[in-house]
Structure 1
Amino acid sequence: MKHRIKGVLVKAIWFIGFIAIVLPTLIFFAGQLGFLTGKVPQDLGVKDGRLKPPSNTPNSVSSQAKLYPDHPLRGYADIAPFTFSGDGQAALKKLAGILRSMPKTVLVTETADYLYAQSTTPTLKFTDDVEFWLSPAENVIHVRSASRIGRKDFAANRTRVENIRAQFQQN
């Protein structure tokens, strides 16, 4: 009986070890091969003075989260818009320069009042969509940053936006 229990324990330990090594390795290689990038959302941009609402999972931030009072993750997603003084178009151009200088980030769309960039995480190659909209009526630049896939982003989008804000506020 003892040999049987010992055999089961050894097999269980091997199985757990196998899962602990193989599963993370498979996920890592899936990311390296581009299987974790997700699809480009077709509903990005500004519609009626609003960026897309925050995600229904805790993996996005939006300076317009308050516009969606019944949204279940409004509190999680809420982040301040970018403030500036002077010319809004110059402020947006400054943001575009910051985005261009960021590693693993590609500025996809740049118009007079809107920026859209795709940012890729370093290890697993998740792609996040980052948008900025110059709102002349409010004299701010609204921001939305969201992961394409996954339920949680472990504050990656918030951290990215706050890092961009820190660079933006430097003269």
Structure 2
Amino acid sequence: MLRSGISIISVACLLLFAPIAPSLAAIAPPLNLAHSPITQLSVPMALFSFSGSRPNYLGIEDGKLSPCPGTPNCVSSQSDDAEHGIAPLKYNNSPEQAIAELKQIIGNMKGTEIISDRADYLYVEFTSSLMGFVDDVEFYINPEQNVVEVRSASRLGESDMGVNRKRVEAIRAELNKLEAQEAQA
């Protein structure tokens, strides 16, 4: 038994069947847990916790975010190499509005915690739901170029299977949606 009372067999089954869970949900009737005692249990955010320590080198220095390490689990709009490089996020309004929109988008994403919130900078931790891996994501308003510089890096490990790049692109897509809605209003 693990400390939390979940057997090793349960964890193995969870890892084995997690990829097909969406297709199983399509054939299983939905559960109504509104009056179930299970809804009164405190469920941790992640089954495991591989969070590591919060880096002490993050932030802005001379208008630059920290460079990506040599591992492929990081993307940065200030990186020149193809493996780590990603386009900055564009904004067409004020820097204050850009930060507010980023906070709105991030607030709607799972497993997020804003660690630092300044007028020109956001630092957010993203925690994966199953394994508890933490990614450190930074946003820096560059008012000279009307862009938001971004850096998203896994705190532990080497490969992220493209998660950091996908996250930045998902945020970009949401920003574009907000911009289109504002243009229509």
TM-score normalized with structure 2 length: 0.70
Structure 2: give runs of 5+ residues left out of the alignment: 1-7, 16-45, 179-185
- SS of equivalent residue, structure 1 residue 76: coil
Paired-residue identity, %: 40
Matched, 1:37 2:51: yes
Instruction: Return the match for 2:104 from 97, 101, 104.
Output: 97
Matched ranges for 1:13-32 at <5 A: 25=12, 32=47
CA distance in 2 between counterparts of 1:33 and 1:125 reads: 5
Instruction: Return the match for 1:162 from 158, 162, 169.
Output: 169
Matched, 1:58 2:72: yes
CA distance in 2 between counterparts of 1:86 and 1:54 reads: 29
* Structure 1 residue 32 displacement after superposition: 2.7
CA distance in 2 between counterparts of 1:33 and 1:124 reads: 5
- SS of equivalent residue, structure 2 residue 160: coil
Counterpart position of 1:146: 153
CA distance in 2 between counterparts of 1:155 and 1:46 reads: 24
Structure 1: give runs of 5+ residues left out of the alignment: 1-20, 67-73
Counterpart position of 1:47: 61
One-letter amino acid of the counterpart of residue 146, structure 2? N
* Structure 1 residue 107 displacement after superposition: 1.2
CA distance in 2 between counterparts of 1:126 and 1:76 reads: 21
One-letter amino acid of the counterpart of residue 170, structure 2? N
Matched, 1:121 2:136: no
Aligned residues: 138
The CA deviation string for residues 74-122 of structure 1, in whole angstroms up to 9 with x for no partner, is: 2111000001112122111110111122111111111000001000112
CA distance in 2 between counterparts of 1:86 and 1:63 reads: 20
CA contact (8 A) 1:63 1:143 kept: yes
Kindly report the root-mean-square deviation, in angstroms, between the aligned alpha carbons of the 2 structures.
Answer: 1.7
